[in-house]
Amino acid sequence: MTTKTIDPWGSVLVEDYTKLIKDFGLEHFSHYLELFPSPSRLMRRGVVFAGRDVKRVADAIKKKEDFYVLSGIMPSAERIHLGTKMVIEDIRYFQDHGADTYVLVADLEAAAARGITLEEGRKRALEFYIPAYIALGLDPKKTTFYFQSENKEVMHLAYEFAKKITANEFEAIYGSNEPGKMFSALTQVGDILYPQLKKRRPGIIPVGIDQDPHIRLTRDIAARTKAKYGFVPPSGIYNRYTPALNGKLKMSKSEPESCIELPEDAKSACKKIKNAVTGGRDTLEEHRKLGAVIEKDMVFELLKQHLVEDDSELQKIHDDYKSGKMTSGELKQIACEKMTAFLADFSTKLEKARQNVDKLKFVAFN
């Protein structure tokens, strides 16, 4: 185990994704891209920048073998933000390629860490989070849901796994050995391996890089319980953060002016886009002459990560903007229009998903 740690509970600046890949022993996803059929927009554009043991999952897709994708919902807030959308798109990619899908509601974590009662967590999940996930692309017909607090088997695994790791090892992975973090982390390990109780099989967990400790711990524990359980070590894929509109690394609701929330009304979103950090030059003359500094442009990043599905359309915007033919104002106008359409579509789908929430498939616990 590496002693490099990244804290899944804190905020860290990740300046250099390539360095991260090296430090954490991850795979460059681009090296494996061709193994994945019809790669998603996020994969093609390097938003999915890293992986862990991804060939295992690509093989399962190729051979049409059973595998699963799993993600969690933390029902602690009233709204989500655009960054969450990427994880859902990752899930959708694997759903479309045959993955048995699990989405759990981390109501225990929301209760312990944020003081959200289990009842309130359940309500928020059913009335907002799960419908929002479906509105963002999750296929409810292919998804099994459960509430962490109801899943005794997950809690049993967490309890058992706690004996399989020392405090020092835990600290090496997480940079902390606080009891609350141990419960949280080991319960997540239980969640990640839970779908294998039914059947041993590869699994893929799409996460932000700050969640990698959970993947590493799970893989360690799968190795240590091999004789008893024979769990297949789960694989991970890692998304870049959606940057904040002010240019900071990670979009966050703590800076609402630089964060597109979901739901949000189009007028408010467009205003935020208008105030975003761009790569436009100080004067129009200079812009026409030098073109935009596109890698510093948060609006272009927004289009690339979220709003333009078609690669050739994005390429044209890129070329026009980079050459100076397109101004920041025009780029923002495009982003505003696309964002408006996206938000309207999201609202419609959210409402529809809400009305169908009673048709969801939940794990039946005895």
| Residue 118 · residue 149 · CB < 8 Å | yes
Cβ 52 to a copy of itself shortest distance, Å: 22
Residues 49 and 17: beta-carbon distance below 8 Å: yes
13 vs 167, beta carbon nearer a copy of itself: 167
- The distance of closest approach from Cβ of residue 16 to a copy of itself in the complex, given in angstroms and rounded to an integer, is 31
Only one residue has tokens 């699963």, namely 68
Q: Measured from the CB atom, is 149 or 327 closer to a copy of itself?
A: 149
Residue closer to a copy of itself, measured from CB, 2 or 166: 166
Three-state DSSP class for residue 279: coil
CB 111 to a copy of itself: min, Å: 6
Does residue 336 sit in helix, strand or coil? helix
Q: How far is the CB of 55 from a copy of itself (least distance, A)?
A: 31
Q: Which is nearer to a copy of itself, 231 or 342 (CB)?
A: 231
Quick one: 27 or 109, whose CB is closer to a copy of itself?
109
Structure tokens at 105: 């509601």
Q: Could you tell me the smallest distance in angstroms from the CB atom of residue 166 to a copy of itself?
A: 6
* CA–CA dist 296, 273 (Å, integer): 14
**Least separation in angstroms between CB 11 and a copy of itself:** 19
Nearest to a copy of itself of 160, 320 (CB atom): 160
Nearest partner of 261 among 343, 362, 187, judged by Cα:
343
Q: Smallest gap, in angstroms, from Cβ of residue 148 to a copy of itself?
A: 9
Question: CB count, 10 Å around CB of 11?
Answer: 11
Q: Which residue, 178 or 309, has its beta carbon nearer to a copy of itself?
A: 178
Alpha-carbon gap, residue 158 to 148, rounded angstroms: 12
CB of 112 to a copy of itself, least distance (A): 5
Q: How far apart are CA 132 and CA 140, in angstroms?
A: 11
DSSP annotation string for 59-112: HHHHTT---EEEEEE-TTSS-EEHHHHHHHHHHHHHHHTT-EEEEEE-HHHHHH
CA distance 115 to 360: 26
Nearer to a copy of itself, 217 or 336 (CB): 217
Q: Looking at beta carbons only, is 156 or 352 nearer to a copy of itself?
A: 156
Q: Least distance from C-beta 158 to a copy of itself, angstroms? A: 7
The residues, any chain, with a CB within 8 Å of residue 258's CB and separated by 6 or more, are 244, 245, 246, 248, 251, 252, 272, 276
**Which stretches of the chain bind a copy of itself, using CB under 8 A?**
108, 111-113, 118, 149-150, 152, 155-156, 158-160, 162-167, 170, 176-180, 182-184, 186-187
For residue 274, give every residue at least 6 positions away whose Cβ sits within 8 Å of its Cβ, in sequence order, or none. 332, 336
CA distances from 91 to 5, 205, 313 (A): 26, 8, 25
